[in-house]
């Protein structure tokens, strides 16, 4: 079974630039999550989708971050404009249903903002 | 108070040792609890779920204490390959998982 795919794996940008990350969840998984993991911290949920609807985006900085999940499959997370404090690993995860089932994580995108 | 708190460690133990981690959570209504493992520069992976009755999987044992609002993870006969960060995860509200900052374990030969 193919796992969660993410791209790119690494990205270096300058502050105030824009960046986008892509995620393809495990086939059949209805729920998709985007997490931000800053060095030395645990993953922090940014947004959770069930199919193509948003379940929770309470911790998403909506003035600069946006995410979408068209057709209930792939998802993109965008940052515009980036700040230095956005440097982190952005992890995408998916699970079967809306309950807190096992979440399967992708390898993440490591973002460095200079 | 943080929603999920863990001792960051590191815990440095010799091979074959027994080591235990605790994790406390703030929301008494939390229903689901998990331990995830994260290797250096890798993604988190589920290690085990934590049930009210406890859960054992080989050398790993997880316990839940609802009265004191903490969960624990016990690793017996530590292996070099157990070296990793162990993340305590709590289902706080509905379907939202909150991750602790993790406890670093280093097993040395």
Write out chain A residues lying below 8 Å of B42, CB-based: 107
At B24 the pLDDT is 96
The share of chain B scoring above pLDDT 70, in percent, equals 97
The Cα–Cα gap between A7 and A61 comes to 21
Of B8, B44, B95, the CB nearest to A100: B95
Q: What confidence tens digit (pLDDT) does each residue in A52-68 have?
A: 899 999 999 999 999 99
Q: What confidence tens digit (pLDDT) does each residue in B20-51 have?
A: 999 999 988 888 899 999 999 999 999 999 98
At A4 the pLDDT is 97
| Main-chain dihedrals φ then ψ at residue A25, nearest 5 degrees | -75, 175
The residue of chain B with its CA nearest to that of A42 is: B101
User: By CB neighbour count within 10 A (0-12 exposed, 13-18 middle, 19+ buried), where does A111 fall?
Assistant: buried
CB contact under 8 A, B99 and A105: no
Q: What confidence tens digit (pLDDT) does each residue in A72-105 have?
A: 899 999 999 999 999 999 999 999 886 567 899 9
CB contact under 8 A, B91 and A100: yes
């Amino acid at each position: 079974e193919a796992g969660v795919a993410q791209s790119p794996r690494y990205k270096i940008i300058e502050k105030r630039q824009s960046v986008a990350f892509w995620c393809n969840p495990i086939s059949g998984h209805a729920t998709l999550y985007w997490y931000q993991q800053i060095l030395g911290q645990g993953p922090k949920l940014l947004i959770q989708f069930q199919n193509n609807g948003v379940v929770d985006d309470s911790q998403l900085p909506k003035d600069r971050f946006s995410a979408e999940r068209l057709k209930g499959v792939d998802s993109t997370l965008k940052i515009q404009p980036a700040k230095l404090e956005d440097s982190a690993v952005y992890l995408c995860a998916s699970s079967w249903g809306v309950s807190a089932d096992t979440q399967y994580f992708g390898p993440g995108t490591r973002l460095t903002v200079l | 108070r943080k929603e999920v708190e863990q001792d960051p460690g590191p815990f440095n133990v010799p091979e074959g040792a027994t080591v235990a981690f605790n994790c406390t959570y703030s929301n008494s209504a939390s229903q689901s609890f998990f331990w995830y493992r994260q290797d250096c520069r890798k993604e988190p992976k589920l290690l085990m779920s934590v049930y009210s009755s406890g859960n054992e999987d080989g050398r790993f044992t997880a316990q839940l204490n609802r009265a004191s609002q903490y969960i624990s993870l016990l690793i017996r006969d530590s292996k070099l390959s157990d070296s990793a960060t162990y993340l305590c995860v709590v289902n706080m509200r509905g379907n939202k998982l909150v991750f602790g900052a993790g406890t670093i374990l280093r097993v040395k030969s």
